[in-house]
Structure 1
Amino acid sequence: GAHLESVANESAILALRDKSPSIHNRHFKEAVDKVMMCEKLDRKPNDDERYRIAVHETGHALLSELNRPGSVSHITVTNRGKALGYMRAIPEDDLYLYTRDYLEQQIQICVAGAVSEKLILNSQSTGASNDFNEAVKCARQIIVAGLSSLGVIWEEIIPREKYHQEIQDIINEQEQDVEKILSSKLGVLKDVAQLLKDQEYISGSELRGLIGEKESIH
């Protein structure tokens, strides 16, 4: 409720700043981002950083679309709060149960940004730290639910070393799969990343159109 009120207020303020007689969809979208991610940072990344961020976020978006078509709302390299760029996913219906496949797909989306940096820029950055934290959470869910190679276990009695090794194995396997997938999509990955760097924002529908165009060529 409080978030909705904040979004409505921010939308009205943005419309006033634009001297717009009415509140448009773009005002609502920017208001949502502002409320959820905080204000834009004053300091802007340099050109090289901006391209790296674009590559990173494009990786997330491509894997999201490949795993769950129609899932991306938009991607941007506009920095807000602590985020230098981000991919916004379209909210899914609430799930109460997760399969191993679903959690593995989520891990793939998390690590895709770092893998994209590695493939295109031959190095990775600290920008992926939060992504890997999320990937670890998903791997832990797989283990705790008895869906890993350890079988049905009690988390508290697993030797710490064995537990961490299983988490690492789960994430490494998905990371290898993502590298294969993105290696086969380097053309669209580079094209979308460059476009994102140039125009700062790509909508989900525009992204899907770009993927479709590239796929139809081959």
Structure 2
Amino acid sequence: MNKQNWLRWTEWAIGIAVPMILFLTFQGINIWPVLIVGAALTALVIAVRMRGGDKGGAGGFGGLKQRRATNKSAIDNIRFEQIGGHERAKRELVEALDFLVKPEQIRQFGIRPLKGILLAGPPGTGKTLMAKAAAHYADAVFVGSSGSEFVEMYVGVGAGRIRDLFKEARQLALKQKKENAVIFIDEIDVIGGKREGGQQKEYDQTLNQLLTEMDGLYGDSSPRILVMAATNRKEMLDSALLRPGRFDRHIEVDLPDKKGRLHIIQLHAQNKPLAADVDLNRIAEETFSFSGAQLESVLNEAAIYAMRAEAKQITMEHMSQAIDKVMLGEKTDREANHEERRRVAIHELGHALVAEAVRPGSVSQVALSPRGKALGYVRHHSQQERYLYTKPYLEEQIMIALGGAVAEEMFYGNRSTGSQGDFDQSLNIVDTMINAGLTELGIVRLKNVTPDALSDATKAIMVELTDRTHTMLETQRTVFMSCLDVLIREENLTGEHFRCLIRDKKHLPV
């Protein structure tokens, strides 16, 4: 509670207490016990407030200095070399930090020092770690906070906390005799969202104060302050915050590619006893689109599985189980009846057979083990990193998603509710194709396309690809039936085992 709110509550208490005392006195009631208890409680509250005042400060940052002092010990051990992947982002960040650590050189060339660096990217990609590594590289104090810490219903509180944040950074730098300070604001979109016209909100005042503080930063001031912020919703930020002179550099911290994933896995595997059969390169392949946080969780969960099994080392089986858990959740205790298990097996084999037909070697595992909300699943691994998608590739992706429903129709003549997620995935891909001009509609603005035309185009694509998927699976009916018996019996098939079954059964007469 800041000073303004404290005075408000004090006035409110006095306004109630005085009339109450007068009323009780008029009624002839002894008020001395009430006064004594009230005075004791007031003294206790004041003592607690005075004791915690240094921690709270005017802006109400209770315990923040203690937390940041704890952060400092962690910062001392975080270097860019310890952050896996993101080589491009790290190079760009180091270049930006050189403006801070080499003031004489930038002054010689007349370069204006950077005031702010924005790290944008999906959750779990290591934006906070990079900010701490930046503070270590620049030999700077690190003051971290989150956008939610500035959100208050009371007018002026958020702005006051912004002022306190910059004040604290300067004081810590002077106390530790540092020339630089890094202020890191995580989830800056909470306070830095686009401002709308009309009535001004408390968030707007907080943002205005942040802009004012950043405008007051100068390269020749001591200590030099660099503001770093992180967000996974850059498009939501106000343009005044993004312009040069405030956040001068926007660094994208994307999901790591295969090389980056391998580097992250190697870093987290250093302190874990790995068996000889563990192939880290294969794990990097099977964790396509995983963030750094998810990869760390995979290694941690694998170690937990090994400990549960009382194994001395982490095996590839433990790693595979950990990947499944991070992707889909823990195994559930649901027990399906025989007919339901058979339908699930047919559904998953439909996905797997189509995937192997259009992208040989892409299936990593076929399983009937219930995980999360899924009764069964097929895990794929990307054979190569892709950033551009062609029409044939997207159509193949839709066919893989439709494989389960088509397989059910082949053997049962109907579908089940288990295809709902597959249809959602297929329709999302169709939307991508329409937006990219890869359909018969051509290059269009969606707002100019009537709902009927959009529906007809979507239906035509889905019907065509469903027919192609059905034809593809019909040619493999014998292979399908042979794999079905094995999957129901063993419940889990590795990608290699599944491909061996396909090769063996293809030579049998239909």
Shorter-chain TM range is over 0.9
Identical residues among aligned pairs (%) = 39
Q: Secondary structure at the match of 1:216?
A: coil
Could you say which residue in structure 1 is the equivalent of 2:489? 198
TM-score, normalised on structure 1? 0.96
Q: Using the alignment, how far apart are the partners of 1:98 and 1:185 within structure 2?
A: 28
1:46 equivalenced with 2:337 (yes/no) = yes
- Distance in 2 of aligned mates of 1:24 and 1:96: 32
User: Is it true that 1:107 corresponds to 2:398 in the alignment?
Assistant: yes
Which residue in the other structure is 1:65 paired with?
A: 356
Write out the 4+ residue segments of structure 1 that deviate beyond 2 Å after TM superposition. 91-94
Q: For 2:444, what is the secondary structure of its paired residue?
A: coil
Structure-1 residue corresponding to 2:477? 186
Q: Deviations over 1:130-177 (max 9, x none)?
A: 101111111122222112111111112100111011111101100001
Counterpart for residue 143 of structure 1 = 434
1:5-50 CA-to-partner distances (Å, cap 9, x unmatched) read 2222211121122121111110111011112211111222111111
**Partner residue in 2 for 1:165:** 456
Residue ranges of structure 2 left out of the alignment (5+ in a row): 1-291
Who is 2:346 aligned against?
Answer: 55
Q: 1:51, 1:194 within 8 Å by CA — same for their partners in 2?
A: no
Structure number with higher helix proportion:
1
Range with bigger deviation, 122-131 or 90-99: 90-99
Counterpart amino acid of residue 49 in structure 1: E
Higher RCO (C-alpha 8 Å, min separation 6): 1
Aligned 8 A contact 1:54 1:194 in 2 = no
| Aligned pairs, number | 218
Aligned pair 1:2/2:327, yes or no? no
Q: How far apart, CA to CA, are the structure 2 residues paired with 1:86 and 1:98?
A: 24
Supply the distance in 1 between the matched residues of 2:502 and 2:316 (Cα, whole angstroms). 25
Q: Which residue of structure 1 aligns with residue 312 of structure 2?
A: 21
Residue in 2 that maps onto 1:86 = 377
CA contact (8 A) 1:10 1:31 kept: yes
Contact between 2:346 and 2:407, CA under 8 Å: does it hold in 1? yes
Match of 2:325 in 1: 34
Q: Computing the radius of gyration over CA atoms, which structure comes out larger, 1 or 2?
A: 2
SS at match of 1:106: helix
Q: Where does the alignment leave 5 or more consecutive residues of structure 1 unmatched?
A: none
Secondary structure of the 1:94 match is coil
Give distance in 2, aligned partners of 1:164 and 1:94.
32
Contact 2:482–2:505 under 8 Å retained in 1: no
206-215 or 110-119, larger mean C-alpha shift? 206-215
In 2, the alpha carbon distance for the partners of 1:64 and 1:56 equals 13
| Aligned-CA RMSD value | 1.2
